[in-house]
Amino acid sequence: MKKKFILTQEEKTADLLKASGFTFVKKEGKTYAFVNDGKLTFSTEGCKMVYTNLLSV
């Protein structure tokens, strides 16, 4: 099952996700949230991100 969101705390990874066309949802503290609505067009090696179905608890 595909997870609905991608979370990262790295600005570089957030910039790559934005440039790849992923929809930015919000930034809370150091965490960037994106809708998992695209295809990754870059190598995720070295990128710290997680896939989740939850935005907040």
Q: What is the per-residue pLDDT across 8-51, written as a single tens digit (0 to 9) for each?
A: 999 999 999 999 899 999 999 999 999 998 777 777 778 889 99
Q: What is the pLDDT of residue 53?
A: 93
User: Is this model's pTM higher than 0.75 or not?
Assistant: yes
Q: What is the pLDDT of residue 30?
A: 95
| 14-38 burial: b if 16+ Cβ within 10 Å, else e | bebbeeeebeeeeeeeeebbbebee
Contacts of 17 (CB under 8 A, 6+ apart): 6, 8, 24, 32, 34, 49
Residue 7 CB coordination number (10 Å)? 20
Q: What is the pLDDT of residue 57?
A: 58
